[in-house]
Amino acid sequence: MPTDLMRASAPPASRPASARIFNIVVIALTTALVELQLVGLALLERSHAHAIQMSFPREAAACTDSPDAAVPQIPYD
C-alpha cells in the first residue's frame, strides 16, 4: 500500500516539459497568426491603394465628356 500512495502523490516527470512545449507551440502559433494578419493587412492596403489609383483616370475621363462645364481661365501676370 505505501507504494500506491507514493505513486499517486508523485507528479509525473514529463508534465512540466510537456507544459513548456505546449506554451512554446502556443506562442509560435500566435506569432504566425499575427504575421499572417499583418501580411493580409498590407495586401489589403495595397489593393485599396491600387483601386483608388485606378479610379482617378476614370473619373477624369468622365469629367471631360461633358462640354458644358466651363473652366475659368486664370490670367497670368
Q: What confidence tens digit (pLDDT) does each residue in 2-31 have?
A: 555 555 666 655 568 899 999 999 999 999
The pTM score is: 0.46
pLDDT tens column, 23-52: 999 999 999 999 999 999 999 988 887 777
The four Cα atoms 4, 9, 15, 19 give a dihedral, to 10 degrees, of 150
**In this structure, which amino acid lies at residue 16?**
P
Cα(49)–Cα(62) distance, integer angstroms: 21
Helix, strand, coil % over all residues of the chain, rounded to 5: 75, 0, 25
First to last CA, the chain: 110
Report residue 70 as a C-alpha cell.
Answer: 466651363
Q: What cell numbers appear for 49 in the block?
A: 491603394
